[in-house]
Amino acid sequence: MEKLYDAALAVFKNSYSPYSKFKVGASVLLKNGEIISGTNIENASYGLTNCAERSALFAAYSKGYRKEDIEKIMVIGDVEEPISPCGACRQVMSELMNQDSEVVLTNLKKDIKVMKVKELLPYSFNNEVL
């Protein structure tokens, strides 16, 4: 868990967030032990901003990994309580991770809240409704 925290904290520091000043880091732990991380990248056109959770998951998928390869994701932010993922990230996690995968939410004080993907977005939109 410490390695995952350190990886998320390292990319947290690389955040490109000149507009919100809200840095976020995320690290995906794969079942093979590899850690893939991502940070939030903002854009003056706010809709083109990408969150840390999506950056990390998209990087893992870009390397060829899939939901069955992912053990958990950790998300860190400079907030009082463990960070809460936005709705878009919850939706992406719901599709790109197994429903029972752990989502570890934390902050710079190392407070931790662990949830399952299915707990973050009950009644999620998925391919079965298309």
Q: Is the pTM above the cut of 0.85?
A: yes
Identify the residue whose tokens are 């707990």. 119
- Give 107's strand partners: 77
Question: In the CATH scheme, what architecture does the domain 2-129 have?
Answer: 3-Layer(aba) Sandwich (3.40)
Residues marked active site are found at 53
Phi–psi pair at 64, nearest 5 degrees = 100, 0
Residue type present at position 41: I
pLDDT at 127 over 90: no
pLDDT digits (tens, 9 = 90+) for 71-126: 999 999 999 999 999 999 999 999 999 999 999 999 999 999 999 999 999 888 88
Listed residue (24, 31, 16, 18) closest to 56, CA to CA: 24
Where do we find the tokens 């993922």? Answer: 85
